[in-house]
Amino acid sequence: MATPTPTPTSPASITASGGRGGFLLARARVAPGGRWAVRAQPAAAELVERSVNTIRFLAVDAVEKAKSGHPGLPMGCAPLGHVLFDEFLRFNPANHAWFDRDRFVLSAGHGCMLHYALLHLAGYQGVTIDDLKAFRQWGSRTPGHPENFETDGVEVTTGPLGQGFANAVGLALAEKHLAARFNKPDLTVVDHYTYVILGDGCQMEGVANEAASLAGHWGLGKLIAFYDDNHISIDGSTAIAFTEDVLARYEALGWHTIWVQNGNTGYDDIRAAIKEAKEVKDKPTLIKVTTTIGYGSPNKASTHSVHGSALGSKEVEATRKNLSWAHEPFHVPDEVKRYSVVPVELKLQNFKVITNKLFCCEEIQTCSSSLGSSSGCCILHSV
Amino acid sequence: MEGILTEACSLAGHWGLGKLIVFYDDNHISIDGDTEIAFTEDVSGRFEALGWHTLWVKNGNDGYDEIRKAIQEAKSVTDKPTMIKVTTTIGFGSPNKANSYAVHGAALGTSEVEATRANLGWPYEPFFVPEDVKSHWSRHIPQGAALEADWDAKFAQYEQKYPEDAATLKSIITGELPAGWADALPQYTTESPADATRNLSQQCLNALAKVVPGLIGGSADLASSNMTLLKMFGDFQKDTPEERNVRFGVREHGMGAICNGIALHTPGLIPYCATFFVFTDYMRGAMRISALSEAGVIYVMTHDSIGLGEDGPTHQPIEHLVSFRAMPNMLMFRPADGKETAGAYKLAVLNRKRPSILALSRQKLPHLPGTSIEGVAKGGYTISDNSTDNKPDYIIMSTGSEVEIAVKAAEELTKEGKTVRVVSFVCWELFDEQSDEYKESVLPEAVTARISIEAGSTLGWQKYVGSKGKTIGIDKFGASAPAPKIYKEYGITAENVIAAAKSL
């Protein structure tokens, strides 16, 4: 994303219904040709790598500090998480409850440090750096498994495997239902995707098959599931008890399936898969992403021990060396910070959220008329 | 459509159960109507993805040769289970109701019964079995006796050639346990190293594995947390089916039902299965069937309370203990230390017609003076008492990880000159079966100053605590934090027990 430094010709002319002068830009992106920076372009490869490692180390450091938690999935799914949140997910960090946001569920809820790190980078006020440091502590907003009533940005409570995936089917059902009831030929007011990350454990649970069968039957084309294929579960390699052909099962259930064979560094593969998934309108899509659990940890990557225990200070050191991450715990490099949240200061009283496409300001008229459902639009808050 | 089916079938495929043959009655109807309404997946495709061989009998109504051929083919496939989809007409023969959901679960009604008789050319009165049909079927009686006689002869040979194995197999067939088997259980004392009951459970399982030939089981991908690996055996897999550690994967409901199958196969097979106590929610259906069908499955359930700490409320049981105390024919054990864990296992193994659940701690617990294996058999028993005439000032009752809290509180109150009885209520069902005299000796009617403490729902404790006592427990969801912090914040402490006692 190129720097979305807000330089509208006259801020005062950008009004929203009920605007009170002075405005705050939380995230800006427009269709090509628009006045604002184009959001859909990914950052330079080097910046992406730094962002991904930021995510990894926020997770590693939080688990280490708590001496409890699950570092493996966050380390392995950081690339997927980065691409999804930074380049595809449509949301407003200042309003986690914006109606037409994309929904995201981490069905493998134990990997919640991945989600918290992403929410933090994205600028959700409910997940500050202090919240990350208070991971798994009494009274914190970052409990050991995601709780929707505790943390803004978390849609559903997960932890027991398979539940989140089934919740995601429900979220996608809601979108499709409301879209059918309320969208008009000339105005689309319900238009968002539901994304879910699930792992081997979720896949084994019967509830996931039940929900997947229904999602296929209902043709929930805006449901996109990522299967974190890391071949590891608590008791070891999945070869021990889980040797079915998952993609074939999903095809039998009426899903479209894609396989990203390199989920560790294949950023373009991930991007292409999500694009392809979004183009399939009549079926839900399962994207199998092959990753290394605990990616980056020289001695524990790819083992079940990195699934659910802190790395330990020695291994944290070794991982920092291995990934050339010289920073202290909980450090977010400036360029990553700047890139993801602009501006840093937020005024949150009495803001009004303007949903895209409907109430775009005059300055960005091109935005509202030329948009398809998958490109971005401006989201302005007036304070 | 049920998820449990995919769980079980995924395992059957993984294990290559070649002698399992499933017939899928493909009649396109369920209670709410045509399966078009909610079930349009490619079932055979799904089974193939799960590693099954699949066949399709397109005419299940009168394609008898097709059916025969399919079964023959299924039997010849020895390395995969087979699913034979048999397309039938539900209610075949009923001229007006065949192929409709109305015929699924309601009597036809007299006029339709008439019409069906006319349709199929069946002029007979109700319950009539024609002579030729009767005589055709009657050959199974001598045939069956001959089959068993052949087997008896073969087994007699087996007994001659392999006497040791024959004796073991015989004990599995009859369910008779080897003499003195219970002596193999570890003998704990107060000097034994303090340990979590999940670890003590592993010691008991491994001790029993040496002497109970039918013990077999495993965990839903939590063997290293539930501590359920039998160290002297390997994994039951496709190529090593003689081994006894079963790896179920994250499939709790399938696991419970598979264990029901193992238990009901032969009296001497004693299956155990394990997961986190909270995930009984995922297999309750199978557990209820264990209780209803008198299958003595042993449910090893660890991480049984807020004591598990940071994983938080999604993982911390609250209502689970009372929910299983409410389930008929289910033994709900919550042992406090080594002796009680051994006692629970002894009873679980003895109770072949009642399933047992053992709720076990993640956290380390001390071995307490006064606990005993014999006490566990009584379900609720006194572990300490400094009163003299069955009239203590206070009765403090508890289970599992909170018994040590009860003991601490009793010590404090005793220092202040009170007489206090501590009761461990390790298994409510067994206590309720005791004589009135025994119950009176533990909970004398005259003593109303009673306090209970348990890290779970207070519901149900009133029956032992009475209306004049106090229950201490947790009636809300847990929290994500280190365990000692949660105990303190939720008031599961000796201080609270003492305060409650003094308020009575």
B313 CB neighbours in chain A (<8 A) are 143, 145, 147
Alpha carbon distance A300, A285 (integer Å)? 31
Backbone angles phi, psi at A101, to 5 degrees: -70, 155
Query: Catalytic: which of B252, B340, B429, B454?
Result: B252
Alpha carbon distance B356, B41 (integer Å)? 38
Number of inter-chain CB pairs under 8 A, A vs B: 168
Alpha carbon distance A152, A141 (integer Å)? 9
Contacts of A21 by beta carbon, 8 Å cutoff, 6+ apart = A12, A382
| C-alpha to C-alpha distances, B367 to B120, B300, B379, nearest whole angstrom | 72, 20, 18
> At which residue do the structure tokens 């399962």 appear?
A286
B309 CB neighbours in chain A (<8 A) are 68
Say whether the peptide bond before residue B130 is cis (omega within 30 degrees of 0): no
Alpha carbon distance B352, B433 (integer Å)? 17
Q: Domain coordinates of chain A in residue numbers? A: 17-35+351-383, 36-350
Beginning with the edge strand found earlier in the chain, give each strand of the sheet holding B53-57 in spatial order.
Answer: B21-26, B82-87, B53-57
What digits encode the pLDDT tens for the residues B193-239? 999 999 999 999 999 999 999 999 999 999 999 999 999 999 999 99
Alpha carbon distance A285, A318 (integer Å)? 37
Q: Do B7 and A235 touch (CB under 8 A)?
A: no
Nearest neighbour of A160 by CB, restricted to B13, B279, B489: B279
Q: Which of A354, A266, A272 is nearest to A16 (CA)?
A: A354
Q: Do A242 and B249 touch (CB under 8 A)?
A: yes
Give pLDDT tens digits along chain B (504 positions).
Answer: 999 999 999 999 999 999 999 999 999 999 999 999 999 999 999 999 999 999 999 999 999 999 999 999 999 999 999 999 999 999 999 999 999 999 999 999 999 999 999 999 999 999 999 999 999 999 999 999 999 999 999 999 999 999 999 999 999 999 999 999 999 999 999 999 999 999 999 999 999 999 999 999 999 999 999 999 999 999 999 999 999 999 999 999 999 999 999 999 999 999 999 999 999 999 999 999 999 999 999 999 999 999 999 999 999 999 999 999 999 999 999 999 999 999 999 999 999 999 999 999 999 999 999 999 999 999 999 999 999 999 999 999 999 999 999 999 999 999 999 999 999 999 999 999 999 999 999 999 999 999 999 999 999 999 999 999 999 999 999 999 999 999 999 999 999 999 999 999
Task: Write down the pLDDT at residue A41.
Answer: 61
Q: Which fold has domain B181-359?
A: Rossmann fold (3.40.50)
Q: Is B247 exposed, middle or buried (0-12, 13-18, 19+ CB in 10 A)?
A: buried
High-pLDDT (> 70) share of chain B, %? 100
B238 neighbors B15 (Cβ within 8 angstroms): yes
Taking the CA of residue B78 and the nearest CA in chain A, the distance in Å comes to 18
Q: Do B51 and A243 touch (CB under 8 A)?
A: yes
Active site residue B252: yes
Alpha carbon distance A103, A196 (integer Å)? 8
Q: Do B49 and A161 touch (CB under 8 A)?
A: no
For the domain B378-503, what is the CATH code? 3.40.50.920
What digits encode the pLDDT tens for the residues A231-266? 999 999 999 999 999 999 999 999 999 999 999 999
Q: Which amino acid is at B89?
A: T
Using pLDDT thresholds of 50, 70 and 90, give the confidence band for residue A340: low
What digits encode the pLDDT tens for the residues B251-297? 999 999 999 999 999 999 999 999 999 999 999 999 999 999 999 99
B213 neighbors B172 (Cβ within 8 angstroms): yes
Q: Do A109 and B50 touch (CB under 8 A)?
A: no
Q: Which fold has domain B3-132?
A: Rossmann fold (3.40.50)
Q: Which amino acid is at A244?
A: E
Q: Domain coordinates of chain B in residue numbers? A: 3-132, 181-359, 378-503
Tokens representing B44 are: 């055979």
Alpha carbon distance B347, B187 (integer Å)? 16
Nearest neighbour of A253 by CB, restricted to B10, B41, B225: B41
Nearest residue in B to A159, CA atom: B314
Task: Write down the pLDDT at residue B434.
Answer: 98
Nearest neighbour of A204 by CB, restricted to B10, B46, B480: B10
Task: Write down the pLDDT at residue A338.
Answer: 78
A252 CB neighbours in chain B (<8 A) are 41-46, 48-49
A108 CB neighbours in chain B (<8 A) are none
Integer-rounded Cα radius of gyration of chain A: 20
B316 CB neighbours in chain A (<8 A) are none
Residue ranges of alpha helices (H) inside B108-178 are 110-119, 131-137, 140-161, 163-174
Question: Does A243 reach chain B within 8 Å, measured CB to CB?
Answer: yes
ipTM: 0.94
Residue from B246, B308, B310 to probe the interface with A (highest A Cβ count within 10 Å): B310
B42 CB neighbours in chain A (<8 A) are 251-254
What digits encode the pLDDT tens for the residues B274-286? 999 999 999 999 9
What digits encode the pLDDT tens for the residues B431-464? 999 999 999 999 999 999 999 999 999 999 999 9
Residue from A200, A233, A235, A307 to probe the interface with B (highest B Cβ count within 10 Å): A235
Q: Do B50 and A249 touch (CB under 8 A)?
A: yes
Nearest neighbour of B3 by CB, restricted to A206, A246, A304: A206
Strand-strand pairing, B394-398 and B235-236 = unpaired
Q: Compute CA B379 distance to the chain's CA centroid, rounded to the nearest angstrom.
A: 19
Tokens representing B489 are: 């914040």
Q: Do domains B3-132 and B378-503 have the same CATH topology?
A: yes
B115 neighbors B122 (Cβ within 8 angstroms): no
Rounded to two decimals, the pTM is 0.90
A61 neighbors A329 (Cβ within 8 angstroms): yes
Which CATH superfamily includes the segment(s) A36-350?
Answer: Thiamin diphosphate (ThDP)-binding fold, Pyr/PP domains (3.40.50.970)
What digits encode the pLDDT tens for the residues A80-93? 999 999 999 999 99
